[in-house]
C-alpha cells in the first residue's frame, strides 16, 4: 500500500470515529505502530487531523460553536439532526451529547420552541446559549481538552441526580449483537450515566458506523429506544437491527 493510500485510510478512520488509537490503526492497516505514528505526525503537520497521546482526533471534533469545514459526512449528520428535531415537543427536558452530529441537532432547534436542555459539551452549550427559549443547564466537571466535554466522577454524580425526557447521544461504534461500544472507558461511564438518567435514549448515528464494535461496552442495543440514521428506516442495511426492541428512524 502506498503511503498516500495509507494516510487516506487513516483520515477516513479518524473522521468516521472522531478519535482513534494508533494501535487500532496499526492493526487495521497491518503495519507497525511506528509507521502509523509517522503518518499521523505528517497528517498533523499538514493540518489534516490532530495528533494526541496514543492516537489522533479529527479536526471537526475539536471545534467550538463555529461550524468547521472539516466535519465528516456533514450532509448525513444534518439529515439525522433534522429527524431528531422532529421528536421534540414544547416543554421537553432533554440531554444533548457531545460530538458533531449532536452539535448539528443543537443548531437546528427551532427558535420558538421552549425546552430545557442539559449538556456536558462546551460546543453544544455555546450553541444553545444563543437561543432565548432554551433553558440551558451545563453539567460541569473536568473538561477534556480533546473532546471539550465534562467528564469524571463529578459529572457522573450530577447526572445521577437528573431525569430527562429524551437523551440524544452519539457513539463510536454500534452493532446489533454487541450494542454500543467505545475505546475510551471514561466515555463509556459517562454514556451509561446519561442512559440511566433518561426516560428514552435516542442514538444519532451515521450508517458507516453500523456493524462495528470496540473493546468497552456502553449498553446492549435494546437499552436504546430509537436509532436515527440518515437512511430510510426500510433500508436493508438496517435489517440486523430490525428484530431488536428498537425504533428505527
* Residue-wise burial string across 45-80, b where 16 or more C-beta atoms lie within 10 A, e elsewhere: eeebbbbbeebbbbbbbbbebeebebbbbbebbbbb
Residue 186 contacts by C-beta under 8 Å, 6 or more apart in sequence?
Answer: 151, 152
Q: Please give the full DSSP string across 135-159, using - where no structure is assigned.
A: EEEE--SEEPTTT-BEESHHHHHHH
pLDDT for the residue 63: 52
pLDDT for the residue 1: 77
pLDDT for the residue 50: 87
pLDDT for the residue 175: 96
Residues of the chain where predicted confidence (pLDDT) is lower than 50: 65
Q: Please give the full DSSP string across 74-127, using - where no structure is assigned.
A: HHHHHHHHHHHHTT--TT-EEEE-SSHHHHHHHHHS-TT--EEEEESBHHHHHH
pTM: 0.88
Whole-number Cα distances in Å, 206 to 29, 58, 126: 23, 16, 24
pLDDT for the residue 65: 45
pLDDT for the residue 68: 55
pLDDT for the residue 61: 62
pLDDT for the residue 70: 64
Strand, helix or coil for residue 182: strand
Amino acid at each position: 500500500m502506498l503511503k498516500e493510500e495509507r494516510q487516506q485510510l487513516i483520515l477516513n478512520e479518524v473522521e468516521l470515529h472522531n478519535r482513534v488509537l494508533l494501535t487500532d490503526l496499526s492493526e487495521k492497516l497491518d503495519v507497525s505502530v511506528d509507521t502509523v505514528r509517522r503518518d499521523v505526525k505528517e497528517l498533523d503537520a499538514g493540518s489534516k487531523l490532530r495528533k494526541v497521546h496514543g492516537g489522533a482526533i479529527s479536526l471537526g471534533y475539536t471545534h467550538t460553536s463555529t461550524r468547521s469545514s472539516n466535519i465528516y459526512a456533514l450532509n448525513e449528520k444534518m439529515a439525522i439532526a433534522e429527524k431528531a428535531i422532529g421528536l421534540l415537543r414544547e416543554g421537553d427536558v432533554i440531554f444533548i451529547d457531545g460530538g458533531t452530529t449532536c452539535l448539528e441537532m443543537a443548531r437546528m432547534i427551532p427558535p420558538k420552541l421552549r425546552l430545557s436542555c442539559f449538556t456536558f459539551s462546551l460546543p453544544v452549550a455555546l450553541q444553545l446559549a444563543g437561543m432565548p427559549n432554551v433553558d440551558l443547564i451545563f453539567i460541569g466537571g473536568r473538561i477534556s481538552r480533546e473532546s471539550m466535554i465534562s467528564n469524571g466522577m463529578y459529572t457522573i454524580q450530577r447526572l445521577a441526580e437528573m431525569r430527562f425526557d429524551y437523551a440524544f447521544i452519539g457513539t463510536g461504534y454500534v452493532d446489533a449483537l454487541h450494542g454500543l461500544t467505545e475505546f475510551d472507558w471514561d466515555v463509556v461511564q459517562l454514556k451509561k450515566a446519561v442512559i440511566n438518567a433518561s426516560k428514552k435514549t435516542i442514538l444519532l448515528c451515521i450508517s458507516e458506523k453500523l456493524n462495528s464494535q470496540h473493546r468497552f461496552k456502553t449498553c446492549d442495543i435494546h437499552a436504546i429506544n430509537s436509532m436515527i440514521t440518515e437512511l430510510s428506516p426500510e433500508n436493508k442495511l438496517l435489517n440486523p437491527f430490525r428484530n431488536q426492541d428498537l425504533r428505527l428512524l
